[in-house]
Amino acid sequence: MGKLSLGPDGLLGSSPYIEEIRQRGTIPRMSGVHITADYEVCRLILRDRSFGVVSPNHPGLPKPIRWLLARTDPGLPNLGEPPSMLVTDPPDHTRYRRTIGQAFGPKAIAALEQRVAEVADELIDRLESTPRPDLIGDFSARIPVTIIAEMLGLPPDMHSTLLKWGDSGAPLLERGLAWSTYRDAVEDLVEVKHYFERQFDELENEPRDDVLGMLAADDALTRREQVANAALLLDAGFLTTVNMLGNGIALLAGHPDQLELLAAEPWRWRNAIEEILRYDGPVRMTGRVANHDVDIDHQRIPAGSLVLLSLAGANHDPAVFPDPHRFDVTRENAAEHLAFGSGIHGCLGSRLARLEGGIALPALFDRYPDLRLDGPPIPHPLRNLHAYRSMPVELGARATPR
């Protein structure tokens, strides 16, 4: 059994550590857990009902994490604890997803296209009067938080608070975090809990047809289930999109040849979004637990075993994506990536994220084709969620929007 080296760049996030796993086989056992960076194995496990999500008390999780979770109020809407949809399996997961699935379906998301374009244009207009624009705080974060807040029926004056809650809650999805970070996150979770409880109290007397209204109208859900999944939708509704937009801006600014191609052939933008997600997806890894003994690629995975899935590794598997470390917006199979997972736990908001990326990034670079980074962007101190905290830029000359 080998020892898994996580490395300074984060959990399975940098190429040397992914290749270390790949060289040991398709699903080696390392540091007490099975782990894979193989695309086909990752996709199989994500789709196979023989595997379930990881419970907070699983012995394969680091002891400090289990210790913290055991001492946290179970009534708080922690994204990484049940009844969050993220960490529940059927039949509960099926109930939660069915309640709100229609709001994230193809027809509902397509209806948001004009609104996303309006928000993006408004924010791009403001950038010109901003002394030193930060394309995370002034742009990438503001688009998805505006849209998800409107979907949930939350007022504009809550946007800054929602961003604060999302920023503090994101580390709870990590496998290791400082005590002070955890304490701040729990303090904010108390605020989140009370806020959404008040929202659902109001909805009992004044029903609405937004996403919170859908959760409130489902009599089969307890108040705790409503609050936990409202909090999940809030955070998941903008966290991954913020990261996707920020990562995409950095990639495109660093590959001017790809930007030139998109300017000449704008119909390629749809595929460019997929290549951004493949090349530098917002989530580096996830985990599953074997519900019973399972054989994968001639290897027995005993019941209860934790399997770590390197999504970053799968998306750079040379057997599926030739020359995987080359950023290429013309890559024919870019959309086959696993950035949004797959199977029943595939990201509910993937259509929304693609819509926001496919509108916001072309609009930004159409308006400011000479945009360039004003120094290296500042990475977010997270290991699993790959993101930037700040990205100052020089906009360059403004072009007439097409």
* pLDDT value of position 401: 56
Rounded to the nearest integer, the mean pLDDT of the chain is 89
Block residue for tokens 């199977």:
343
pTM of the model: 0.92
As a whole number of angstroms, the distance between CA 258 and CA 80 comes to: 37
Q: Are 96 and 85 within 8 A, CB to CB? A: yes
* pLDDT value of position 1: 36
The DSSP element (H or E) to which 329 belongs, if any, is none
- Among the listed residues 280, 272, 282, the one whose alpha carbon sits nearest the alpha carbon of residue 357: 272
The CATH homologous superfamily of the domain defined by 15-394: Cytochrome P450 (1.10.630.10)
**DSSP H helices in 255-294:** 256-264, 269-279
Question: Tens of pLDDT along 33-91?
Answer: 899 999 999 999 999 999 999 877 776 666 666 666 666 666 788 888 899 999 999 99
Lowest mean pLDDT among 14-18, 52-56, 141-145, 196-200: 14-18
Domain ranges of the chain: 15-394
Upstream peptide bond of 91 is cis (omega within 30 degrees of 0): yes
Question: Tens of pLDDT along 321-374?
Answer: 999 999 999 999 999 999 999 999 999 999 999 999 999 999 999 999 999 999
* pLDDT value of position 186: 85
Question: Tens of pLDDT along 275-286?
Answer: 999 999 989 999
Q: What is the mean pLDDT of residues 230-250?
A: 91
**What are the phi and psi torsion angles at 392 (to 5°)?**
-65, 145
* pLDDT value of position 192: 95
Upstream peptide bond of 83 is cis (omega within 30 degrees of 0): yes
Output 70 or 225, whichever has higher pLDDT.
Answer: 225
Q: How confident is the model at residue 384 (pLDDT cuts 50, 70, 90)?
A: confident
* pLDDT value of position 172: 75
**Which residues on adjacent β-strands are paired with residue 392?**
134
* pLDDT value of position 64: 60
pLDDT of 95 higher than 80: yes
Q: Listing from the earlier edge strand, what are the strands of the sheet with 285-290? A: 29-30, 33-36, 306-310, 285-290, 51-52
